[in-house]
Amino acid sequence: MSAYERLAARFARMATVDEAAGILMWDAETMMPEGGSAARGEHLAVLAGLTHEMMVAPATADDLAAAEAAGPGDDPWLAANLALMRRAHTRATAVPGDLVEATVRATNTCEAIWRDAHRTADFALVRPALEEVLRLTRQQGEAIGAVLGLSAWDAMADGAQRGILAADIAPVFEAYQTFLRHALPRAEALQAARPAPLPLCPVEIPLQEALARKLMAGMGLAPTQSRLDSTMHPFCGGLPGDVRIAGAFNAADPTSGMMALIHETGHGLYTNGLPAAWLRQPVGMAAGAAVHESQSLIMEMQAGRSQVFVDWMAGEMQTAFAGDAAAYAPENLGRLWRRATPSLIRVDADELTYPAHVILRFRLEQALFAGSLDAAGLPTAWNDGMQQLLGVTPPNDREGVLQDIHWYVGIFGYFPSYSLGAMAAAQLMAAARRAEPGLDAALGQGDFSPLLTWLKREIHARGNLLGFNELLRAATGKPLDPTDFTTHLTQRYLI
């Protein structure tokens, strides 16, 4: 075997171990009894240690040097794969193996405590565990940043979406905050002049899950390649051909469950659409967190809340859930699903105010990593930030600093990807409509196939070949253009 072939085999082996760890994490979130938490933390720590050992082994460094010396030839995919291998090796060798395992153990412990803290709205319960997670995660960021010439937070953000740093994000968020300051009052005034939406009646969760499975299949995620389970916080995991979606269904609010399901199915479709020829190679993986979020948000916000799809969905929900026909009328569902109002919970926020939630987390993370804010000050800083950005203050920590799982499992640098992904989704949808004139007519029949076909060709099939802006340029003709997002919001909420 050549040096490159040995590298490809080693990276495929590491990816397989990571896939196994991902399934174990899915199990922990959906099916594992609480008593298994400590053992599962050890499982995940050992697996993380194994992949780290393979990555930093001398043989990996030797083969990387030999493969780079030989050159990748004329194949751009092979060249990109080799460059991504070097990137992964550089990041991994910056972090000691014992720190990798210690962080996994700490996040597993913290997550278990967070569940109790969330249930009891008691941040003090989880604060010591979060302090340990933050300490270890910051150490990793500092170690990687020292090698790459980045701040600790930028090192984490670059791990989530390569090449996108705080300096790229901050001006985009500043501009959006200015837009929101004027747009939200206008949207609220327009809504106040129209009939208030009728609430939906409670719907038993099994009925919601049945419709959710029908939606998943109709969107293109086959039952033979996916499964649906329930959890506290919706997510999508798994691997190509074995997508695991966990929904958070609420009997009192069937709308939130359906929208979250469409969102997570978008993630799953992206996972299934990645290039099979480069399975388990860095270049064959997703192109980053912001790209992944663009694929879920184009389905949920761009397609799933479009009036043509709402018209179709109204009939499906009326048939599946029965209840008051007036509440399931298309115009009422449209008012429900496209209503802008400040809210406390990020995952329930409308698309106009959602970025404010992300901006808050971005700024708090910056302060945490800079040392100007510690974990003890988070609840107050959170509440102050919500009041400043949206004019609302959480009545308790469950609806405030405890609402998201991310920090408690050591995920920092990720939150900006939600709003960058929303902006990219608007840009991609505009390009898809230009390329596929029948797209909206198909959505009006519950048919996502024209949109999915375009996304598979322009985004999914390119894997991790291109960076965020390069991928957008290839698909739409330009890098990220946030004005596509504000134009979309203006047409949906301000007219």
Per-residue pLDDT reduced to its tens digit, 131-154: 999 999 999 999 999 999 999 999
Q: Which two tokens stand for residue 146?
A: 């020292």
Asked if residue 325 and residue 219 are part of one domain, the reply reads: yes
Residues near 105 by beta carbon (within 8 Å), at least 6 away in sequence: 41, 42, 45
* pLDDT number for residue 351: 95
- 392 secondary structure, DSSP code: -
Which of 117, 134, 160 is the endpoint of a domain? 160
| CATH number reported for the structural domain that contains residue 437 in this entry | 1.10.1370.30
Asked if residue 202 and residue 142 are part of one domain, the reply reads: no
Q: Are 188 and 177 in contact (CB under 8 A)?
A: no
**Average per-residue pLDDT for the chain:** 96
Asked if residue 471 and residue 338 are part of one domain, the reply reads: yes
Asked if residue 239 and residue 142 are part of one domain, the reply reads: no
Beta bridge partners of 227: 244
* pLDDT number for residue 163: 96
* pLDDT number for residue 324: 86
Q: Is 30 helix (H, G, I), strand (E, B) or coil?
A: helix
- 224 secondary structure, DSSP code: G
Asked if residue 67 and residue 122 are part of one domain, the reply reads: yes
Asked if residue 355 and residue 435 are part of one domain, the reply reads: yes
* pLDDT number for residue 442: 97
Q: Are strands 242-247 and 235-239 parallel, antiparallel or unpaired?
A: antiparallel
Asked if residue 341 and residue 196 are part of one domain, the reply reads: yes
Residue 230, pLDDT > 90, answer no
446-451 long-range Cβ contacts below 8 angstroms, 24+ apart: 446/218, 446/309, 446/312, 446/313, 446/316, 447/218, 448/218, 448/219, 448/220, 448/299, 448/303, 449/220, 451/298, 451/299, 451/303
Handedness of CA 117, 120, 125, 127 (dihedral sign): positive
Residue 290, pLDDT > 90, answer yes
Residue 245, pLDDT > 90, answer yes
Beta bridge partners of 235: 246
DSSP E strands, 177-314: 226-230, 235-239, 242-247
Over residues 9-48, the pLDDT tens digits come to 999 999 999 999 999 999 998 999 989 989 999 999 999 9
Q: How far is CA 150 from CA 146, 163, 289, 468, in A?
A: 7, 11, 19, 19
Asked if residue 244 and residue 155 are part of one domain, the reply reads: no
Beta bridge partners of 57: none
Asked if residue 259 and residue 156 are part of one domain, the reply reads: no
Query: pTM of the entire structure?
Result: 0.95
Please state, as a whole number, how many other Cβ atoms lie within 10 Å of the Cβ of residue 73.
Answer: 9
Q: How far is CA 273 from CA 189, 294, 455, 456, in A?
A: 42, 14, 9, 6
Q: What is the mean pLDDT of residues 51-55?
A: 96
Q: What is the mean pLDDT of residues 64-78?
A: 95
Asked if residue 68 and residue 194 are part of one domain, the reply reads: no
Asked if residue 242 and residue 390 are part of one domain, the reply reads: yes
Q: What percent of the chain has pLDDT over 70?
A: 100
Which of 132, 160, 188 is the endpoint of a domain? 160
Cα(129)–Cα(136) distance, integer angstroms: 11
Residue 62, pLDDT > 90, answer yes
What is the span of the domain harbouring residue 30? 3-160
Q: Are 326 and 332 in contact (CB under 8 A)?
A: yes
- 237 secondary structure, DSSP code: E
* pLDDT number for residue 323: 80
Beta bridge partners of 247: 230
Cα(299)–Cα(266) distance, integer angstroms: 6
Q: Are 100 and 49 in contact (CB under 8 A)?
A: yes
List the alpha helices (DSSP H) in 149-193. 152-160, 166-192
* pLDDT number for residue 428: 98
Residue 386, pLDDT > 90, answer yes
Asked if residue 242 and residue 101 are part of one domain, the reply reads: no
Which of 136, 160, 184 is the endpoint of a domain? 160
* pLDDT number for residue 234: 87
What's the structural domain count of the chain?
2
* pLDDT number for residue 307: 94
Q: Are 376 and 353 in contact (CB under 8 A)?
A: no
